[in-house]
Structure 1
Amino acid sequence: MNLTKLLVVCTIVISFGSNAAEHQRKIDIDSKVVTNHKATINGERINYSVASGTQPVWNEQGEPTATLYYNYYKKDKVDDLSKRPLLISFNGGPGSASVWMHIAYTGPRVLKIDDEGYPVQPYGMKDNPYSVLDVADIVFVNPVNTGYSRVLPDKDGKMPSKEEQQKQFFGVNADIKYLASWINTFVTRNGRSLSPKFLIGESYGTTRVSGLAKELQSAHWWFLNGVVLVSPTDIGINRDGPVKAANRLPYFAATAWHHKVLPAHLQQKDLLELLSEVEAFTLNQYLPALAKGAFISEQDKQSIAERVALYSGLSKQFVLQNNLDVSDDAFWKELLRDQGYILGRLDSRYLGIDKRDAGDSPDYFPELSAWLHAFTPSINHYIREELNYKTDVQYNMLANVHPWDRTNNHTGEQLRAAMAENPYLNVLVQAGYYDGATNYFDAKYTMWQLDPSGKMRDRLSFKGYRSGHMMYLRHEDLKASNDDLREFILESLTSQTRSAKYK
């Protein structure tokens, strides 16, 4: 090699080496980009700003251990923030970004989809005239590893081990602890200490916000005005055995009604009329029958199987073959087997096709595939082009946060205790009738069991919708669910005119 060629090679190597650190794919630990927008919401013309950025999570030594990406929607020209509610929003998973409710439910810009919630191309965004931004500012939070949120290396540049990360972030109680601390910082940084505060969580996010209600009170002395549970999990309230089996039937009936496979006399009923009948049967006959197990009489077993088949759209033989206890997987595979379709899990209005019609569970879940199809390009384009937050870090729609430590999940009891200690705290439950992952009757059951004393039942409310897990994807329910949420926020504020005391 001659000297000229050697100098060229060295120059290239040196140039690459000097810029490598500048081109690492990493997120800024503490950042913020603000953009300004306009919208017409609930008939009102609104100017608002969106702060998109990252804010650190600190350990007890004051060292940053992670950074969380957020989007903070704030109405302009609000004279008194002490009267302006703040809605703090989480999705679930665990391991899901805040994308779903952000660009499909409460935000002022939502996914471009058809009226029933199915994807349409070209993908993109449209205005949401039903957003609750007219009555509350909203911050969408992405827990560690979701969205652009990431674990950080320690002061020596070393990443914590998988076990250390799980201990800090990836478990029911670790998740609640660090997020409460993050919220405390966000609230004080943004001057929202006096604002009425609401938490909303979807799916596993309901476990998260139930625990946060108590943790914020106990560790940070923030008392909330409301908690909203969208498509809730069990929040640590036991519903196994016969209860788990029986509670599926109203959801089965709703799905069978939607697909028009029920007998004519049931099919002609309105959905809510049908569900009232099925719920009564479930509580008064089906649940007691399942509790008898193998010792149910043959006559009663045949009678119950006949009614379960009637309401579920399944054959009596199939119900008996499953000992009166039909699993969700079996239902999704069996209901439309003769038509060659499987059902969606999170929204059973969605249909899919399997490699074989035979089998006892679906190959995949068609609704999640459809949603990822539309949400992924839309959120990436929206954040980068409309909110002007630019990074080469991948936006994680669904992140690896497993194994997730689910031990000592007492979040339902934590929510009850927070309500007992705080007379201002109200709870709204929202659920879709076609959700097979966290079915609506389980949601009702959890609400019923949340406060066995019954002393706080007037502060608990339930709203159901004719769609699935993300009930807001259906246009009619996007309006209805936002209207219900708006009413809940405003009614919770009205209670502030009374002193926070019992009697």
Structure 2
Amino acid sequence: MADKDTPAETDKHRREPPSPELPVERLVTTEHKLSIGKTTLNYQATCGTVVLREPDSSEPEGKGQSKGEKARASIFFIAYTLKTPKTANPTSAAKKPAQPRPITFSFNGGPGSSSVWLHLGLLGPKRVPTDAMGQCGTPPYALTDNEFTLLTDSDLVFIDPVGTGHSRVAEGEKMAEFHDYQRDLDAVGEFIRLYLTRHGRWSSPKYLIGESYGTTRAAGLSRHLQDKHNIHVNGLMLVSMAVDFQTLSFDHGNELPYPLYLPTYAATAWYHHALSTAMQKKPLKAVVAEAETFANTDYLLALMQGSRLNPERREQIAERLAQLTGLSKAYVLRCDLRPNEFRFFKELLRDRGQTVGRLDSRFLGLDRDDAGEQPEDDAGMNNLVGAYAVGINRLLHETLGYKNDAPYTVIAPLWKSWTWKGFENKYVNVGDSLRRAMHACPDMRVYVASGYFDLATPHAAGDYTLSHLGLRAPLTDNVQVSYFEAGHMMYIHPPSLARMATELRQFVRSDLNASTSASSKQ
């Protein structure tokens, strides 16, 4: 890759604040090249902040005068735009105007995560390299060109929600105000509207891609953008789906997660050779299929009976659970047939002195001792966070020329204090927002990526959510689901990364091809 030119702050979108306490909108733009095989991508990178303003409730309205606006927060973003090559025959080009390039808005989850994971793991022109399994190596880690970038087919905008990355609230504002489901949609939705307006992208096919809680945000935004801004997106790309929280919440009286996590328990035990010899000889997908069948039939029926389940049947269910999970029958019985995720992380390999990861159960961790109900850390996250922190700081300072002494917040534990206005006293489920968005825009498509070794948002929970959206035919055909032999961030696994990149490119191209075909018929 030919590196950048000298960074230059652009005046085009710079907006000085009217008073010192308001945040400054500062953009830095650089030019780059990326070689992918025989193709060279010439692109422009823009990073910086956009100030979000809202009506000032403290300012009274006068006659014929509306309330003034007040800066509430600034959103930090990094955008990549492919430069259109100059044509050798401008007369010919004028007869066939180029179709606007798609634009994809990307964010991660948490809530409390910056956009760094999808940015440096899958979509952007740079990525954190990993070995054949997905390990990031040893410090100080590496950053390399990404031949799998989606920039080949779509311009990219990575959004850091308020409180992550370099996104902050204005002086005097409360950070916690934005740490709410609806206020988060308001902020990210307003940023998307501003970006489309300022950069002249209203005519572009529009996509949202989110991971984990980012899928919650994407599903909510799909309807919010329609209602609030009249923006209809062409498609959603949902990585490690978390749309119905009842499927993920191990609460007393909620039986749903136990059968939905079981197939991933089985996949994890198979991966670590914790199953019987006969089960280990079977391929992964066969083991997962057996677990799914049991989970959807005998196991679910047994859980529904509660204390009415007769002792003999209880023993039979425990025996089959032990066969599929690698846990002992005695332990399964002590758990009342209901081993939750943290117990599984700690118990599966307890006799080996190891724990399994939550985000990616292929990864192993070590605790101080082998007692206890849950592991001290998530081995999957420990593999990633240091490398991605190095990657984003190197990218900003060395490549994009964004000089800022403030720490870039890779991830903050905002999920601990996140609020859920509108979902009080019930499980969060934004599936109906997605359904309504698809019913309102029947051409909208959805791509879902699920990892067999993801014990944060298991693939069976995502499948259950999709099958309970209430989509009317034929809109169910607009949903595409792909499964990967990896975890929550399946793209750290090189074979999964290659296939996923191909599928995302095809997903985006399909709308562009349809648009081109429609134009040619006119």
SS of 2:295's equivalent?
helix
Structure 1 residues 28 and 44, CA, compared in 2 at 3 Å: closer, same or farther? Answer: farther
Q: How far apart are the structure 1 equivalents of 2:48 and 2:98?
A: 21
- Distance in 1, matches of 2:305 and 2:223, equals 38
Identify which of 199, 204, 218 aligns with 2:227. Answer: 218
Structure 2 counterpart of 1:405, from 406, 419, 424: 419
Equivalent residue number for residue 44 of structure 1: 39
C-alpha change, 1:42 and 1:476, in structure 2 (3 Å) is farther
Distance 1:367 1:291 in 2: 33
Contact 1:35 1:50 in 2 (8 A): yes
1:77 to 84, 100, 104: 84
Corresponding residue number in structure 2 for 1:66: 73
Q: Report how far residue 124 of structure 1 moved.
A: 2.2
* Rounded Cα–Cα distance in structure 1 between residues aligned with 2:191 and 2:237: 20
Tell me by how many angstroms 1:451 deviates.
Answer: 2.3
Does structure 2 conserve the Cα–Cα contact (< 8 Å) formed by 1:451 and 1:457? no
In structure 1, the residue matched to 2:123 is 106
Deviation at 1:425, TM superposition (A): 0.7
SS of the residue corresponding to residue 392 of structure 2 reads helix
Alignment match, 2:450: 431
Counterpart residue identity of residue 486, structure 1: R
CA deviations 1:199-258 (Å, max 9, x no partner) are 000011111111111111111111110011111113456676222111110000110111
Conservation of the 8 A alpha-carbon contact between 2:23 and 2:51: no
> Are 2:180 and 1:180 aligned?
no
**Could you tell me whether the CA contact under 8 Å between 1:36 and 1:48 is conserved in 2?**
yes
Deviation at 1:410, TM superposition (A): 4.7
The match for 2:144 among 118, 122, 126 is 126
* Gap change, CA 1:55 and 1:82, over 3 Å in 2: farther
Q: Hey, what does 1:348 align to over in structure 2?
A: 361
1:170 to 168, 179, 194: 179
Q: Paired residue for 1:266?
A: 279
**In 1: Cα distance, 2:221 partner to 2:244 partner:** 12
Q: Which runs of 5+ in 1 are unaligned?
A: 1-25, 154-158
Q: Within 2, Cα distance between the matches of 1:53 and 1:447?
A: 36
Call closer, same or farther: CA 1:43–1:349 in 2, change over 3 Å.
farther
- How does the TM-score come out when normalised to structure 2? 0.85
- Helix, strand or coil: the match of 1:242? coil
Amino acid at match of 2:420: R
- Provide the residue aligned with 2:436 in structure 1: 417
Q: How much does 1:419 deviate?
A: 0.3
Aligned to 2:425: none
Say whether the 8 Å CA contact 2:207–2:234 is kept in structure 1.
yes
| 8 Å CA contact retained: 2:52, 2:71 | yes
Inter-CA distance 244–498: structure 2 relative to 1 (3 Å threshold): farther
User: How has the CA–CA distance of structure 1 residues 65 and 28 changed in structure 2, closer, same or farther, with 3 Å as cutoff?
Assistant: closer
Q: Given that residues 442 and 475 in structure 2 are in contact (C-alpha distance below 8 angstroms), is that contact kept between their aligned partners in structure 1?
A: no
Q: Deviations over 1:427-454 (max 9, x none)?
A: 1111111111111111111111122545
* Residues in 2 aligned to 1:193 and 1:284: alpha-carbon distance in whole angstroms: 48
Q: Which amino acid aligns with 2:101?
A: R
Choose which of 40, 56, 62 in structure 1 pairs with 2:51: 56
State the match for 2:109 in structure 1. 92
**1:295, CA displacement in angstroms?**
0.7
Q: After TM superposition, list the pairs within 5 Å mapping 1:460-471 onto structure 2.
A: 460-471=479-490
Aligned twin of 2:6: none
2:194 alignment partner AA: T
**Please, which of 231, 234, 239 is the counterpart of residue 230 of structure 1?**
239
Give the Cα separation in 2 of the matches to 1:292 and 1:279: 19
Q: Distance in 1 between matches of 2:35 and 2:299?
A: 49
Q: For residues 213 and 41 of structure 1, do their structure 2 counterparts lie closer, same or farther at Cα, with a shift above 3 Å needed?
A: farther
Of 331, 337, 341, the residue aligned with 1:328 is 341
Q: Report deviation, 1:491.
A: 2.5
What amino acid does structure 2 have at the position aligned with 1:58? R
Q: Note if contact 1:214-1:414 (Cα within 8 Å) is conserved in structure 2.
A: yes
Is the deviation greater in 72-81 or in 356-365? 72-81
1:114-153 equivalences in 2 (<5 Å)? 114-121=131-138, 122-153=140-171
Residue-by-residue CA offset, 1:312-340 (whole Å, 9 max, x unaligned):
11111111111111111111001101111
Alpha-carbon distance in structure 2 between the residues aligned to 1:207 and 1:493: 26
TM-score by length of 1: 0.88
- Does the CA contact (< 8 Å) of 2:451 and 2:488 recur in 1? yes
State the Cα deviation string for residues 461-486 of structure 1 (Å, max 9, x = none). 21111111111011111111111211
Once the 2 structures are TM-superposed, how far is the Cα of residue 141 of structure 1 from its aligned partner?
0.3
CA RMSD of aligned residues (A): 2.0
Distance 1:436 1:142 in 2: 25
What are the within-5 Å matches in structure 2 for residues 1-16 of structure 1? none
Return the letter of the residue paired with 2:314.
K
Contact 2:248–2:457 (Cα < 8 Å) also in 1: no
Q: Taking structure 1 as reference, are residues 275 and 373 closer, same or farther at Cα in structure 2, changes over 3 Å only?
A: same
Per the alignment, residue 13 of structure 1 pairs with none
2:377 & 2:320 partners in 1: Cα distance? 30
Output the amino acid matched with 1:387. Answer: L
| Distance in 2, Cα, partners of 1:495 & 1:426 | 13
Q: Are residues 1:277 and 2:290 paired?
A: yes
Write out per-residue CA displacement over residues 100-139 of structure 1, whole angstroms, 9 at most, x where no aligned residue. 1111111111013222221223412111111111110110
The percent of aligned pairs where both chains have the same amino acid is 36
Q: Which amino acid aligns with 1:138?
A: L
> 2:79 is matched by which residue type in structure 1?
Y
Measure how far apart 1:268 and its partner are. 1.6
Identify if the C-alpha distance between structure 1 residues 236 and 496 changes in structure 2 by more than 3 Å, giving closer, same or farther: farther
- Residue equivalent to 1:310: 323
- Is the contact between residue 41 and residue 129 of structure 1 (CA under 8 Å) also seen in structure 2? yes
User: Separation in 2 of the partners of 1:220 and 1:78?
Assistant: 32
> Residues of 2 paired with 1:273 and 1:29: CA distance?
56
Q: Do the aligned partners of 2:23 and 2:73 also contact (CA within 8 Å) in 1?
A: no
- Amino acid across the alignment from 1:125: L
- For residue 178 of structure 1, what is the amino acid of its counterpart? A
Question: CA 1:306/1:78 → structure 2, altered by over 3 Å: closer, same or farther?
Answer: farther
SS at match of 1:51: strand
Shift of residue 142, structure 1, vs aligned partner: 0.3
Offset at residue 144 of structure 1 (A): 0.5
Q: Alignment length, in residue pairs? A: 465
